[in-house]
Structures are given as C-alpha cells and as structure tokens.
Structure 1
Amino acid sequence: MAARTFEKRRVGRTDLEVTTLGLGGASLAGIFNGVPADQARATVSHALDMGINYIDTAPQYGLGRSEHVMGDALRESKVDYVLSSKVGRLLKPVNPAQQDKGNWVDPLPFNQLYDYSYDGVMRSYEDSQQRLGLSRIDILYVHDIGVATHGAEANKPLWQQLADGGYKALRELRDSGAVKAIGLGVNEWEVLMDAFALGDWDIFLLAGRYTLLEQTSLDPFLTTCVERGSSVVVGGPFNSGILVGGDTFNYAKAPEEIVTKVKAINAVCQEFNVPLPAAALQFPLTHPAVCNVLPGPRSPAELDGILQWWDVTVPDELWTTLAAKGLLAKGTPIPGGVA
C-alpha cells in the first residue's frame, strides 16, 4: 500500500501535532496471543512508512516488551514521529516461574509495582527511556489509575500519591521541556474528571468509552475537555472486538443487549454500503476534543486492513440516520449538528 497524507490535529495547547490515526502498542506485546518480535517491529515501521506519526506504548505492555520492540523500530526510522509512554508502574526483576504474567503470552521477566509518587514517576520515565533506547518521549500518561483497575479503597492511597507528588513530577518534566505533553491513560472517564481538579492536562488516552457503540464519556468529560483545552486520544475504537466482527466487549463475552445494538448499527452501515469497522474507526473524530483514534494491529497485514477501512468515505447521512434511530447518545456531535 502507498503512503498517504493524514490529517493532523493539535494536542491541547501544545505545539505537538498528531495524525488522526495512530498505532497502539499493547497488541504488539502479545496480549492474549503471541506476536513475534520481528513482526512487531515490522508493524511499527510499516505504520511510519504509511504516514502514521503517533505511536503509543507503556511499561505494562508485555512487561517491557512493547517498549523494547518499539524502540528498536523507532531508532531505525528516518521519519519524524510523536511517541507516548506511561508512568505508574515500575518493573521489578522476578524469577519467571514466580511471575504474574497476566494476559501477556511471553512477557519479559518482570513483575509490576504500582507507584504514582514523585519519585515513582521520575523513575518510570527514566526506565522507559532506557527500555526504548531513546532520549525523547513526547507524551507521558499516568497509566490505569482509578477504581476500574484498583478498586475504590486501594485506589485512594494511589490517588494521594499522584496528588501529593506525581502530578508535580509530570509538571516539572513538561515545564523543563523533557516531555511536551502530559495526561492520563485509562479505561474510565470518571477518574479524568477527578484529574481536572488536580490541575491542567494536555491530553487523555481514553479506551472504549467514546465509540460508535458507547458514548458514555460525552458529558461532562468531553465537554470539559473542550472547555479546558485538553485533547483526547480514543483507544479501543472497536470495543475490544465487537465492532470488528468479534464477540467480545470490554475484554469479555458481549452481553445480549450489546449484540443487539451492534446488529442495529450494522444494519444502518449496510444501508450505506459502509463496513461496520470503517464507521467505528472514523466515528470518534466527529468530536472536536478528539485528536486521534488508536487501534492496535498485530501485523503489517492487519494495519493494511485498518487503512482500507480508514479510506472508506462515510457519508454524513450515515451518522444522521444513526442519530435518528436513537443509536447515538443525545448531544453527540455529528457533521451538520448534534444527535
């Protein structure tokens, strides 16, 4: 496939600009299914060759594996890119026989320790530079803080770490120019509203909560982002598979009401001869706060499939028809108005 010119959108009030399509690094690290390192590196290189400039990774992904393979590919790159990684987990060496591998098929021999403190954030940032083999990380997210990951009680002291020192560390890194933007990367929008009370953020990576299937983050979160000048990267645009022909929603078997809604959305897509995944991929960008959609292909071939969906022209009438049938939340921005 030939390279294309993607639209770029600005990250918050920073000077960073990202292509509206990005490359997520979790799948490449072997979540649920193994991905050979050569294949992972080739996928990153292919994304850059195709014109994608935004690449996201994290220490958690493969317990260091994602940062290693992405760094290998990015060091070889002759094109400019915008790279994000995350803080909040420190990796500690462990005997592989005693390791908690989670959903990673072949992780590196580490266990993760949650630490959102000032020192934890600084250590995490420096460790990521070492694993990547790169001096530059452009965007730094606080990873998976919140009730969804930790539970209500366990999250309280971790949130206090962020409030007492972690946020200060992030501000220092941004103010010094070490990183260009700071934010949070989570699966729940509610904690992002709490984050606004701590201070100003440039960008949030929110997975699965503003998709063609679910717009629960629309208000007050996305409306607050517009007011505060913060951008949003939408991860998980396929809701972990249900919008791309799978049967999983939020990493579990989809309940019947979700399956029924997907069938209704798909019927509208078929009416306009638009593949459901193409509509799912392009939908989040109808909101002015959203700067990027971040799928996670496992190979160059999967990325080519995503690019084919990306190139499909979605008529405005598809969105208005979905709105008219009550398949989009009230107030969802669509071309020419709101649902």
Structure 2
Amino acid sequence: MRSVELGRSGLQVSELGLGLASLAGMFAVVPEGEAVATIDRAWELGIRFFDTAPVYGYGLSEQRAGMALRGRPRDQYVLCTKVGRLLEPGGQDLQEIWAEPPPGIGPRLDYSYAAVMRSFEESLRRIGIDRIDLLHIHDPELDFRTASTEALRALVELRDRGTIRALSLGINHADVAARFLREATTTPDCVLIAGRYSLLDHSAADELLPLAHQLGVSIIGAGVFQGGPLAAARPSVGYPPLPPEAAARLDQLRTISDQYAVHLPAAALQFPLTHPAIPTVVVGARTPQEITEVAAYLGHSIPPAYWRALEQAGLIPLRSA
C-alpha cells in the first residue's frame, strides 16, 4: 500500500488507515478475537495508520489496539488517539452507541491542561505503549475556548518533549476546524474531519480545505461512506434513512456510477483523495473481510470522465484541471 506524508507533521502513513471505533463495539458487539484479527488483517494489507480514542468503547478500543500492535516494530506504524474526555466512575458524557461498555465507567468532558495530561498518560497505560504519534483534540467545539488554549498548550508541550510527534484535531464540524486553524496560537499539524468531504457532503470544501492547504495542514478524511449509504452499491437494510435531498443525490450518484461501470463504494473511498489537502483516509471495519474489501477499493480504476460527469451534474465541487 502506498505511503504518503502528513504534511507539516513529517509523519509517513499508509494511504488507507483503520479507525478502531467499530472494533470497540460501536452499535454491535465485536468479540475480542475478531477485533484483533481485523487489525492483524489490516497489517497484512499494508495498513500502517491506526486511529483510536478513549471514548471508543470507554477504553476498549485502546486496549484492543494494544493487544494487536504490541510487539510490532514501533517505527513501522503511526498510532493516533484523542484527548478531551476522561474515563472515570460516574462519568456522565455517555453515548448509547457502545454495545459493551465497562460497568460503572463513563466519559467526562474536560479539556483542561491537567485533564489532557492525565488522559494522555491513561491512554499510554491502556495501550501499553510509550508514545503516541498523533494526538487529536477530540470534538473541540464542545468547549472551544478551553480546547483551543489549555488543551492545545498541553499538546504543544507533549510534542516538545517528544512523547507525541504531531498534534491534531478530531472533529465532525468543518467550520469549527477552520476557526481553530484561524484563531489558535499554534497551528495543528493535521485535522481529522469526519463526514464533511464525501460524495454526499462537501462542506469542508467551503473554507477548511483551502485554508488547510494554504497552511500546509494535512486533512485526514474520515466518514467517507457517510455512515453507511455510500458503503453499498444498492440500499441495505439497517441504514438510517437519508433526508430527501441527500437521498435524491444518492440516486443520481448510483445512476452515473452505473453508466460508467464504477463501483460506488470505491468512488466514495477515492473521492476525498482527489483533493490536494487530503493524503489519507481512515475507515472502520468489524471483520477481516470488511477491511479486505475496503482496501481493495483503492485499486479500482475510475475514469476521469466519471469525475467530470459528477461535476457536470453538480454532485461534486468543480476541481482544477
């Protein structure tokens, strides 16, 4: 798998990364052996970029990352985790999406300097590792003032110490990410943006992507399948219904994909990578088979005429020649 550079961070990552939220029981239980086997299969496929967070399964994702990655050459992969939530008894920032959360433990939002340092140390212990390569401030819009001052100061200090190599945001809101890049006293090295530059949502193109490209900040694409609808060439049972406008766009995407014999999930995976600010995308998977199928999408040939047809239909932003 092709290796790419994360801009100003200096990190080299695989063009495809594996997000570890699903393996922590997001929406459905994933047995421990299956989770480890999925990470093992990703490694066999050449994936060397892994993204986790304390809140994913309330520590379970980080623990499983450690099980699968410990013992592998440390300089051969890039590992990300996040700060902004502490896991502790009685934590009230609960999310119902986790199928097997530990009893009595929950997240508590806290972007203070002390909480970030504590969160980082606790992540190291859960994973069983001595450094994190890329550390995200998670959901900074929930307390922008503290996240952009105290949390950012903690990350800068950790980077200066050498215990992280790059600092980033992990966020779902393109406008907040752009504001952070404009206003923060230290510019992040990267931004992981979920679901805001996909075949169904281009909101990151309005301000975030041009600004990031100008500043040399790499954008890590995530949520490329938009929560499910773009992951299947035809509707599948279990996906939540799209709003009418998005559903109509999806129908148009399917029609044009059929006309050009393009597999829509492959186009969804490759589309973010056509932007110069996005060198890599992160996807989730629950099984070795799922990550095998998604990794194969990178090799699907998509003719330039297909992208031009999407542009002419107003389905993707116009791209420079």
Inter-CA distance 101–221: structure 2 relative to 1 (3 Å threshold)? closer
CA contact (8 A) 1:117 1:162 kept: yes
SS at match of 2:140: coil
SS of residue in 2 equivalent to 1:67: helix
2:255 is the counterpart of 1:267: yes
Once the two structures are TM-superposed, the CA of residue 93 in structure 1 deviates from its matched residue by 2.7
The alpha-carbon deviation at position 43 of structure 1 amounts to 0.6
Q: CA deviation at 1:203?
A: 0.5
Q: Is the 8 A contact 2:175 2:207 kept in 1?
A: no
C-alpha distance 247-142 of structure 1, shift in aligned 2 (>3 A): farther
| Distance of aligned partners of 1:99 and 1:136 in 2 relative to their CA distance in 1, 3 Å threshold | closer
Distance 1:274 1:170, change over 3 A: same
Q: For residue 227 of structure 2, what is the aligned residue in structure 1?
A: 240
- Residue 91 of structure 1 aligns with an amino acid whose one-letter code is L
2:301 to 279, 289, 313: 313
Q: 1:150 corresponds to which residue?
A: none
Partner of 2:99: 105
Identity among equivalent positions (%) equals 39
| 2:22 match | 27
**Per-residue deviation, 1:260:** 1.2
* Displacement after TM superposition at 1:252 (Å): 4.5
Is 1:213 the counterpart of 2:200? The answer is: yes
Change (3 A) 1:274 1:137: same
Change (3 A) 1:91 1:45: same
1:174 aligns with 2:176: no
Paired residues in the alignment total 314
Superposition deviation, residue 268 in structure 1: 1.3
Output aligned runs, 1:144-293, within 5 Å: 144-146=139-141, 155=142, 158-196=143-181, 197-198=183-184, 199-245=186-232, 252-293=240-281
TM-score computed with the length of structure 2 as normaliser = 0.93
Q: Using a 3 Å threshold, how does the CA distance of structure 1 residues 306 and 163 change in structure 2: closer, same or farther? A: closer
After superposition, give the CA deviation of every residue in 1:67-126 in whole Å (9 maximum; x if it has no partner).
00111100043571100000000000359xx99452100022311011111111111111
Could you tell me which amino acid in structure 2 is paired with residue 299 of structure 1?
Answer: T
- Stretches of structure 2 that go unaligned for 5 or more consecutive residues are none
Q: CA deviation at 1:39?
A: 0.5
Distance in 1, Cα, partners of 2:95 & 2:197: 29
Q: Deviations over 1:258-290 (max 9, x none)?
A: 111111011111122111000001110000110
CA contact (8 A) 1:45 1:77 kept: no
State the AA in 2 paired with 1:104: W
The CA deviation at 1:329 is: 2.4
Contact 1:241 1:247 in 2 (8 A): no
Which of the numbers 11, 15, 18 marks the counterpart of 1:16?
11
Q: CA deviation at 1:7?
A: 2.0
Gapped regions of structure 1 (runs ≥ 5)? 1-5, 147-154
Aligned twin of 1:67 = 62
Could you say what secondary structure the match of 1:168 adopts? Answer: helix
* Secondary structure of the corresponding residue to residue 126 of structure 1: helix
Aligned to 2:164, what secondary structure does the other structure show? coil
Contact 2:80 2:134 in 1 (8 A): yes
- Aligned-residue offset at 1:293: 0.9
Who is 2:78 aligned against?
82
Residue 31 (structure 2) pairs with residue 36 (structure 1): yes
Structure 1 range deviating more: 308-317 or 113-122: 308-317
CA 1:163–1:260: 2 relative to 1, 3 Å: closer
Shift of the alpha carbon at 1:231?
A: 0.4
How many Å separate the matches in 1 of 2:117 and 2:90?
22
